[in-house]
Every structure is written in structure tokens, then in C-alpha cells.
């Protein structure tokens, strides 16, 4: 069986196919006449062959090498017999693939039993010599020919030695190179014969573990026994995946035990191949990656921990929450709760006593809060003076209240910092994680509960309940609705510039709503959803439109033709009387319809109601222009661009901000600008923050831009001053920059 594989390999390596056989015979001038000649004389020579075989074995017996192989008489008799059959076949032919295979097989057998090539070849010389005598007797010419034969055969053995040695040297060189490369790579090598479970491990593989090769045995058991028990299933799985063809290669990190008991992190790599027998061999390398792993773990730890208190941070909380929520899904899970802790009036300490004292207070609070926890609970620094506690494995969620109370008591104890006695308190919101309806927004729920505790007078805890959520939303809606009545709304205006002739000349403004609430300027993104929810946006939008038209009309006195853009909500567009209301406002303020631009977003168009379309057509017929805002962020269906009566495309800031990189985003921006130009829209780029953005837009022939580089949204008073100039050109060093309100 084994011989067959050897033979297959030999045939493959030597390229001995039918074509090669024919070439070789042609080189020897072999012809059919040779076949015929030998076949005709075969029988006549059978006796001579018989004698020759005896003579051959006698001759071989005189030399130590072959003599050693011919000690057993029965073996010798068998060999003689097959030698005779060989001569028969040599004369009979045919010299086909089968013949070649037979010769190669005999050669392999001789090599295996240890008969050196020189004896084998010498036998042929003897054979030719005996034929010579048979055919020509002892003439002087045949004596001469016999001498030549000897000389030639001697040389043939030398030539074969020379070829063999060169091949061996090439092999040795490549092995030496391989060995040097391996020493340099510092990796261990392994080669595992899967079916026979025979594992070869290199010296380096075992020395990495402080062991000798023979201490690891010859099968996978010695290897696997040293793998960390937590990592063994993963390693087996990775190997199995690869052996069954589900992965391209084996590439797996795991821990393995060193002789001294500690574990190393290693990376094992390998690929499977099949040998001539079709059996699987998995071979590859193994590197020690402990150093790299330690750095990685250190970085991972740093990214997940707060340097001041050493507590986990938000990122860590996220992981812990996910794990806790997964545990909650399992049957029989125990209670769990999340506590949101905020120190009361901490800002006062920070502002009046300085950050160093603030830091000390935080460190002390960390210690006190931590003392109230059991192993398995987690304390996280959420931000500034906010902490989160995750209580796992509670017998009942009421226990969370005991923990919260203990924390409140401990926090309240007097605290000495910088020779001063301070008193600190905290408010705590509690959420029961087993309550299904919270749906992932646990932190928001805990935060709401914490605010409830603050509202109720601070230094206490409150539990989250669903009504709390509803109440919070209602409050926001109510408060924002009241804002109008309380004059808390205000309009800011952001200049829009025309980029023609290398200038950035202001040609219009966009009105942007602000809410000044409790001393804070709140961004529209925070409160517009609540206004929309309660439909208050209709009244507020009406107010915005009126204010913006009044203001623009006033500015037109010094800036003739100044445009004004106003953002619309979809609720406004759905109002049956909306176009009529716009007509009234234009008439009332005296602003020409052509100076007003109404901005709508793609999502508004997506609703695609007949009402929206009718309303937009009516507005367009008044002479008001319509802009598609934030273009590119929604569905960007090209259908809208032709179906609706639009005049202006506003390329969303996310595209413009990305053009610096020159990557995908600049390609998209370029395409959007071209698209708008191709359809005869005015194109306005939003979010121009850098000079390079302007260069890009100019190169694309985009004529209009707005963004922080030119000017942030500004209150009326700042623009009043700016509009004194004629014409108004902006760049980033403009005086306006000094008054910037930049909402980042």
C-alpha cells in the first residue's frame, strides 16, 4: 500500500508520463525495428540469461554491501527468479507506462532494502559484458568494447554521485534557510497528523513553556492538557471549524500553562493540507503574545475606567448593563436594580472651593458608596458628580431601597477636606431591572427617578414608575408650549453667502429658533419634537414665520433683496389654511414673496400626502421659493426633486464636513451638487466650517454656502451691526466671529 503512494509521488515528481517516455525513447533512437529484433532473439538467449543471473549473484556476493543482503538462500533464489523474468521483459517489451511503473517499483524496493545505486548499475555493466562475449566471443574488438563499458559505467556512477550531491545540497540549503527564518521569527512550530494523532512540536514551541519537547508527548493530549480550561473549548472549536472547511485558516488566541504555573497568551496559526494518502495534516506556528495582550488589557482597562476614582466609566456600565439584562432574560433570574446617584449642590463645592477639593470629595464619596456594596455589585462613575450602582442578585427589589438608604446616610456623615468640614448629600433614583416595560432605556428611567428625588427636596431616593415618564414628557410639552406665552422663544439668524467672484457675500439669512429657559439657551433639536408631539409647533411656527418676515423686511431697508429662509414642520404643511396664512403674513409685513424661502425636509415629503403636494404648489404659485433641507440624509429619492415644486437644494452638513478627507463623502457631495445644478436648482452647502470646504465648493461651482466659517447663527443685535456694511462680505476673521454663538 505504502509503496503505491511512493510510486505515485515518484511519477508525479519525475514527470514520467506517456509524453516523457516517448521523448526518452526517441532520444535513444528507439524504433519498432528494435522491438522486433529483441523479440525475435529472446528465446535464443534464455539460456544465456540463466547463466548470467548465476554469474551476477556470484559477483555481487564478493562485495560487502550486496553480500550482506544475500545471506538467505531462499531470498536469493527468489531474487534470481525475478531477475530472470526481468530480462525476459527487457527483450519482450513493450516499453509502455506499465513497464515504466514496474521498473520504478523495483528501483524503489532496492532503495528500501539498502542496495546502493553503484551495485545496481554495475549489474548492468556485467550484463552487457556477458552479452558481448556471447555475441562476439573473445575477439580483440570485444575486449576493447568491454574495457570501454567498464570505463563508461565507472563514469556513470560518478555523474550520478555528482547530481545527487547537488540535489542534497540544495535541499540542505533550503532547510537551513528555513531553520534560520524560524529562529528569527521566534515562533514555535507544530505539525499534527490528525488521523493518527501524531503531533510534532518544535524545540521553540516547548521552550516557550519552559519545557523540553519530550515532556509534551506525541499526541494532542499533551498540548491540550496545558490549555487554560476556559480557553480549551474555544481552541477545539476553532480547530474543528478549520478542519471542516468553515474557516480559511486556524487563527486563535488562548492561554497555555507555563512550566512554572503561570499562563502565557499565545496565538496559534495553521492551515490544513492533505498528504498523498488523503489524510489531514494541520500545521503552523505558535507565538507568545503575552506582552501585546497585557498592553491591550491595560488599554482596555484605561478606556473603561475613570482615572480619578479608579471606578468603571460609562463604557464599562454599558457592558455591565448588557450582561445584567441578558441575565434577566434567563428563567429563575434573581432581582436586579440600577441606582442613579447625583451629589446635591456639588457644583457649589467645585466653584467655591476649587477643583482639587471637589476631586477629594469625589474620592471620599466613592469610598463611602463602595462600602455599602456587596461583592458582585458594581459602582460606576457616570460623569462629574454622578454615580451609577448596579445591584445584582437581589432577593427582592425592595432591598435596593435599603442599599440606597445606607448610601444616603453614609454620604451625609460630616466630611473633612482641606481643614474644612463639609456636608454633602445625594439624591438617588432607583429602577427595578426586572420590570419589562423599561425596555433598555434604563438610564433615562433612573435619571428621571433621581430628578423626582431632587424635586421632592433632595437627600433622598425615589423609585421609577411609568407615570413618571409620562409626567416628564407632559412637563416638557407644557413648558415649551408656555414658552411662547412667556416670551422665552427667540430667533437667531445665520447668514447665507453667495460665493461668486471669490467673495462670500451675504445674500440671505436662515431663521433658527432658540428657547431661553432657566438661563440656558436650548437647541431646537431638544424641544421641537415635544412641540410637534403636542401640535404646539403650529402656533410656534406661525410666530417664527411672522417674526422672520418682519425682521427681514426691516433689514431689507439696508440690505435690499435680502432673502429669509424659515424652517417648516410637517404639521404646518398639513394645515389646510397654511398657504393662506403665508399670504397674510407677507401682506402684513410687506416682505416680497420672492424674498421668502420655506425649508422642508425629505421626511416631510415622504409623507407625500395630496395635502402636502397641494400646499407646496400653492406656496410656489405665490412666488415663495421652496428649499429641500438636509438633502442626502433621508431617502434622497430623486423622484421628489421633480414631483414637488422645489427651487433650492440644501446639501446636509454631514457631507460638507467630510469633504476634507477626499474620500467617499466628497464624491457624494460632488454628485449631489452636480445633480442639483443639472436640475436647475440653486444649491446651498450647509456646515461650511473650514476654508478647505469653501475651496471645494468653489471648485464644484456651488454658488451658496452657510456655516460656522462664515458665521454662526447670531441674535438680531449682532446682525443689525453687521448689516450696516455695504455689501456684507464674510470670512472667518470677520468681526462677527467675536459674537459667535456656536452650539457645539
Paired strand residues for 250: 270
Q: How far apart are CA 686 and CA 26, in angstroms?
A: 82
Query: Would you count residue 687 as binding ligand C2E (CB under 6 A)?
Result: yes
Residue number, 235 or 705, with CB nearest to ligand C2E: 705
Q: Which stretch binds ligand C2E (CB under 6 A): 97-105, 321-329, 440-448, 563-571?
A: 563-571
Q: Which residue's entry shows cell 410637517?
A: 570
Closest listed residue to residue 744, CA positions, set 513, 523, 480 = 523
> Least separation, in Å, of the C-beta of 528 and ligand C2E?
5
> Least separation, in Å, of the C-beta of 377 and Mg ion?
46
Q: Which stretch binds ligand C2E (CB under 6 A): 272-280, 325-333, 402-410, 687-695?
A: 687-695
Q: How far apart are CA 725 and CA 603, in angstroms?
A: 38
Query: Would you count residue 320 as binding ligand C2E (CB under 6 A)?
Result: no
Q: How far apart are CA 711 and CA 742, in angstroms?
A: 9
Strands (E), 411-544: 415-417, 420-422, 426-432, 461-463, 489-498, 505-517, 520-522
Pick the binder of ligand C2E from 507, 551, 556, 569 (CB under 6 A).
569
Q: How far apart are CA 579 and CA 586, in angstroms?
A: 11
Would you give the DSSP letter of residue 438? Answer: G
Pick the binder of ligand C2E from 32, 352, 525, 680 (CB under 6 A).
525
Query: Would you count residue 513 as binding ligand C2E (CB under 6 A)?
Result: yes
> Which parts of this chain interact with Mg ion (CB under 5 A)?
567, 599, 629-630, 686
Query: Taking CB within 5 to 8 Å according to partner kind, which of Mg ion, ligand C2E, none is near residue 525?
Result: ligand C2E
CA atoms within 13 A on the CB side of 244: 7
Which residue has the closest beta carbon to ligand C2E?
A: 707
Indicate if the alpha-carbon torsion angle 515, 519, 521, 525 is positive or negative.
negative
Pick the binder of ligand C2E from 379, 629, 669, 700 (CB under 6 A).
629
Q: How far apart are CA 207 and CA 188, in angstroms?
A: 9
Would you give the DSSP letter of residue 690? Answer: S
Closest listed residue to residue 650, CA positions, set 724, 689, 597, 611 = 597
Would you give the DSSP letter of residue 435? Answer: -
Q: Which stretch binds ligand C2E (CB under 6 A): 50-58, 216-224, 562-570, 577-585?
A: 562-570
Query: Taking CB within 5 to 8 Å according to partner kind, which of ligand C2E, Mg ion, none is near residue 627?
Result: none
Query: Would you count residue 268 as binding ligand C2E (CB under 6 A)?
Result: no
Q: How far apart are CA 424 and CA 415, in angstroms?
A: 8
Q: How far apart are CA 348 and CA 458, in angstroms?
A: 15
Query: Taking CB within 5 to 8 Å according to partner kind, which of Mg ion, ligand C2E, none is near residue 358?
Result: none
Q: Which residue's entry shows cell 428621571?
A: 448
Cβ neighbours, 10 Å, residue 603:
12
Paired strand residues for 431: 338
Output the nine-digit C-alpha cell for 532: 410637534
| SS3 state at 337 | strand
Residue number, 358 or 713, with CB nearest to ligand C2E: 713
> Least separation, in Å, of the C-beta of 568 and ligand C2E?
6
Pick the binder of ligand C2E from 210, 524, 592, 715 (CB under 6 A).
524
Q: How far apart are CA 537 and CA 524, in angstroms?
A: 11
**CB-based contacts of 310: which residues, under 8 Å, 6+ apart?**
366
Q: Which stretch binds ligand C2E (CB under 6 A): 261-269, 390-398, 615-623, 681-689?
A: 681-689
Rg (CA), the chain: 46
Q: Which stretch binds ligand C2E (CB under 6 A): 105-113, 114-122, 196-204, 519-527?
A: 519-527
Pick the binder of ligand C2E from 556, 689, 704, 719 (CB under 6 A).
689
Q: How far apart are CA 539 and CA 531, in angstroms?
A: 9
Residue number, 344 or 510, with CB nearest to ligand C2E: 510
Residue number, 250 or 710, with CB nearest to ligand C2E: 710
Query: Taking CB within 5 to 8 Å according to partner kind, which of ligand C2E, Mg ion, none is near residue 512?
Result: ligand C2E
Pick the binder of ligand C2E from 272, 341, 408, 544 (CB under 6 A).
544
Pick the binder of ligand C2E from 342, 344, 364, 630 (CB under 6 A).
630
Residue number, 420 or 520, with CB nearest to ligand C2E: 520
Residue number, 385 or 630, with CB nearest to Mg ion: 630
> Least separation, in Å, of the C-beta of 620 and ligand C2E?
19
Query: Would you count residue 536 as binding ligand C2E (CB under 6 A)?
Result: no
Map residues 706-725 to x or -, x wherever contact with ligand C2E holds by CB under 6 A. Answer: xxx----x------------
Cβ 388 vs Cβ 404: under 8 Å: no
> Least separation, in Å, of the C-beta of 202 and ligand C2E?
58
Residues within the interface to ligand C2E (CB under 6 A): 494, 512-513, 523-525, 528, 541, 544, 567-569, 599, 629-630, 653, 686-689, 706-708, 713, 743
Amino acid at each position: 500500500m505504502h509503496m503505491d503512494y511512493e510510486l505515485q509521488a515518484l511519477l508525479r515528481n519525475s514527470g514520467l508520463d506517456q509524453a516523457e517516455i516517448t521523448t526518452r525513447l526517441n532520444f535513444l533512437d528507439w524504433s519498432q525495428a528494435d522491438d522486433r529484433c529483441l523479440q525475435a532473439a529472446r528465446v535464443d538467449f534464455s539460456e544465456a540469461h540463466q547463466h548470467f543471473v548465476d554469474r551476477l549473484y556470484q559477483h555481487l556476493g564478493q562485495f560487502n554491501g550486496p553480500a550482506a543482503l544475500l545471506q538467505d538462500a531462499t531470498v536469493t533464489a527468489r531474487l534470481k527468479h525475478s531477475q530472470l523474468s526481468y530480462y525476459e521483459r527487457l527483450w519482450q517489451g513493450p516499453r509502455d507506462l506499465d513497464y515504466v511503473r514496474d521498473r520504478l517499483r523495483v528501483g524503489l524496493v532496492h532503495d528500501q532494502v539498502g542496495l546502493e545505486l553503484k551495485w545496481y548499475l554495475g549489474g548492468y555493466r556485467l550484463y552487457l559484458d556477458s552479452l558481448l562475449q556471447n555475441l562476439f566471443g573473445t575477439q580483440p574488438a570485444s575486449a576493447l568494447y568491454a574495457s570501454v563499458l567498464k570505463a563508461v559505467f565507472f563514469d556513470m556512477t560518478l555523474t550520478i554521485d555528482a547530481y545527487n550531491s547537488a540535489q542534497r545540497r540544495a535541499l540542505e540549503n533550503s532547510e537551513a534557510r528555513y531553520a534560520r527564518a524560524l529562529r528569527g521569527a521566534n515562533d514555535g512550530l507544530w505539525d499534527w497528523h490528525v488521523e493518527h494523532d501524531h503531533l510534532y512540536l518544535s524545540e521553540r514551541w516547548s521552550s516557550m513553556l519552559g519545557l523540553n519537547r519530550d515532556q509534551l508527548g506525541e499526541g494532542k493530549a499533551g498540548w491540550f492538557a496545558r490549555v487554560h480550561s476556559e480557553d480549551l473549548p474555544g481552541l477545539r472549536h476553532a480547530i474543528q471549524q478549520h478542519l471542516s472547511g468553515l474557516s480559511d485558516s486556524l487563527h486563535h488566541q488562548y492561554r497555555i500553562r507555563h512550566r512554572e504555573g503561570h499562563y502565557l497568551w499565545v496565538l496559534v496559526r495553521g492551515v490544513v493540507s492533505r498528504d498523498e494518502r488523503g489524510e489531514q495534516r494541520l500545521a503552523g506556528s505558535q507565538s507568545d503574545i503575552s506582552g501585546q495582550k497585557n498592553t491591550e488589557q491595560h488599554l482596555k482597562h484605561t478606556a473603561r475606567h475613570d482615572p480619578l476614582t479608579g471606578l468603571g466609566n460609562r463604557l464599562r456600565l454599558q457592558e455591565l448593563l448588557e450582561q445584567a439584562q441578558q441575565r434577566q432574560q434567563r428563567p429563575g433570574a434573581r432581582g436586579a436594580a440600577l441606582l442613579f446617584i447625583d451629589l446635591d449642590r456639588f457644583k457649589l463645592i467645585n466653584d467655591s472651593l476649587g477643583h482639587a477639593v471637589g476631586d477629594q470629595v469625589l474620592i471620599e464619596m466613592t469610598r463611602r458608596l463602595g462600602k455599602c456594596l456587596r461583592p458582585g455589585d458594581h459602582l460606576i462613575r457616570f460623569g462629574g458628580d454622578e454615580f451609577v450602582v448596579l445591584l445584582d442578585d437581589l432577593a427582592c427589589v425592595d432591598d435596593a431601597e435599603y442599599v440606597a438608604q445606607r448610601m444616603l446616610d453614609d454620604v451625609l456623615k460630616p466630611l473633612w477636606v482641606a481643614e474644612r468640614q463639609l456636608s454633602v448629600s445625594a439624591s438617588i433614583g432607583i429602577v427595578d431591572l426586572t420590570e419589562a416595560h423599561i425596555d433598555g432605556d434604563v438610564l433615562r428611567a433612573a435619571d428621571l427617578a433621581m430628578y423626582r428625588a431632587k424635586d421632592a427636596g433632595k437627600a433622598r431616593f425615589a423609585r421609577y414608575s411609568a407615570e413618571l415618564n409620562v409626567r416628564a414628557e407632559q412637563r416638557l410639552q407644557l413648558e415649551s408650549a408656555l414658552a411662547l406665552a412667556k416670551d422665552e422663544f427667540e430667533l437667531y439668524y445665520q447668514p447665507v453667502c453667495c460665493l461668486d467672484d471669490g467673495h462670500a457675500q451675504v445674500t440671505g439669512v436662515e431663521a433658527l429658533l432658540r428657547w431661553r429657559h432657566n438661563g440656558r439657551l436650548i437647541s431646537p433639536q431638544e424641544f421641537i419634537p415635544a412641540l410637534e408631539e403636542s401640535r404646539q409647533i403650529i402656533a410656534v411656527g406661525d410666530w417664527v414665520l411672522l417674526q422672520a418676515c418682519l425682521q427681514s423686511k426691516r433689514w431689507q431697508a439696508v440690505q435690499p433683496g435680502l432673502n429669509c429662509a424659515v424652517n417648516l414642520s410637517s404639521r404646518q404643511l398639513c394645515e389646510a389654511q397654511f398657504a393662506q396664512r403665508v399670504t397674510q403674513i407677507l401682506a402684513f409685513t410687506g416682505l416680497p414673496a420672492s424674498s421668502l424661502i420655506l425649508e422642508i425636509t425629505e421626511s416631510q415629503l415622504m409623507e407625500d400626502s395630496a395635502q402636502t403636494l397641494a400646499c407646496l404648489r400653492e406656496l410656489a404659485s405665490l412666488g415663495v421659493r421652496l428649499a429641500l433641507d438636509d438633502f442626502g440624509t433621508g431617502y434622497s429619492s430623486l423622484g421628489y426633486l421633480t414631483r414637488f415644486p422645489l427651487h433650492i437644494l440644501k446639501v446636509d452638513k454631514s457631507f460638507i464636513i467630510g469633504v476634507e478627507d477626499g474620500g467617499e463623502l466628497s464624491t457624494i457631495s460632488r454628485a449631489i451638487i452636480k445633480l442639483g445644478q443639472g436640475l436647475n436648482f440653486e444649491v446651498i452647502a450647509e456646515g461650511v466650517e473650514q476654508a478647505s470646504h469653501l475651496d471645494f465648493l468653489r471648485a464644484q461651482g456651488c454658488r451658496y454656502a452657510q456655516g460656522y466659517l462664515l458665521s454662526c447663527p447670531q441674535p438680531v443685535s449682532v446682525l443689525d451691526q453687521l448689516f450696516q456694511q455695504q455689501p456684507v462680505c464674510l470670512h472667518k476673521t470677520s468681526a462677527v466671529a467675536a459674537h459667535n454663538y456656536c452650539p457645539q
